[in-house]
Amino acid sequence: MTKQSDSEYWNNIYETKVENEVGWYQEQPSQSLNFIEAAQLSKDAKIIDVGGGHSFLVDHLLELGYHNLSVLDISEAALSKTKKRLGERAKYVNWIVSDITNFKTSEKFDLWHDRAAFHFLINAKDQKTYKNLVKTHLNSNAQLIIGTFSKSGPNRCSGLPVSQYDLENLETFFAPEFRIESGTNFNHITPSGGKQHYSFARLVKVD
Ligand SMILES: C[S@@+](CC[C@H](N)C(=O)[O-])C[C@H]1O[C@@H](n2cnc3c(N)ncnc32)[C@H](O)[C@@H]1O
């Protein structure tokens, strides 16, 4: 039997589950929006949501008047769902189907957001690639908002193993180019009532 690729794995999830059947579902991405408000960006800021899936974050950002938005995901099926939900408004977003570890761009962003995608990178090579991407593709003083399962959270997500981080690990991992401006831990309550303990941090590029 041939091994299922990562994109097939994720496409299958998005094609077979309804929106609120997945653990990470949330209509109101409150923590992300709080950090984005705290980042005090101009409405022209270039923002990318990495592993955005069918997150409602992009809907909220459009509503708030941000208009330089990209959403990247390994799953074309996930992005199709999000585009369908947005309807006409989807044309204001740059949609990128890519494994983040193969992402090639000449663009630089002012804000990089990632809720529960980075933690799927469990080997050092992929983690290093990710770090190089944020270093290279964020402008000076840009911000990085990242949410992962915490050290006391689940060690698997969607059937896959994840790397867990506490706030200190996140800061150490992204240092010295980034430092934490603020961070928090909390339980995300899944649609089925389960608890997932997250570490969520807003980091600023130091150079
Ligand atoms: C747990 S979901 C979170 C989705 C979204 N960030 C949210 O908060 O609703 C993880 C997402 O990361 C995507 N993903 C997983 N591995 C990825 C990779 N290597 N590159 C890009 N996206 C990836 C999945 O397709 C999925 O949409």
Considering the entire predicted model, what is its pTM?
Answer: 0.97
Give the confidence band of 187 by pLDDT, cuts at 50, 70, 90.
very high
207 pLDDT more than 80 = no
Give the confidence band of 1 by pLDDT, cuts at 50, 70, 90.
very low
Residues whose beta carbon lies within 6 Å of some atom of ligand 1: 6, 10, 24, 51-53, 55, 73-75, 78, 99-101, 115-117, 120, 157-158
108 pLDDT more than 70 = yes
Specify the residue with its C-alpha closest to ligand 1, atom 10. 117
Specify the residue with its C-alpha closest to ligand 1, atom 13. 51
What are the structural domains, with CATH classification, of the chain? 26-205 (3.40.50.150)
Element (H, E) at 78: helix 76-86
What's the pLDDT score for residue 12? 96
What's the pLDDT score for residue 19? 83
Please tell me the distance from the alpha carbon of residue 41 to that of residue 150, in angstroms, as a whole number.
27
Average pLDDT over residues 61-69: 98
Sequence-ordered list of residues with C-beta below 8 angstroms from that of 176, at least 6 positions apart, any chain: 206
Instruction: At 66, give phi and psi (nearest 5°).
Output: -70, 135
Average pLDDT over residues 142-158: 97
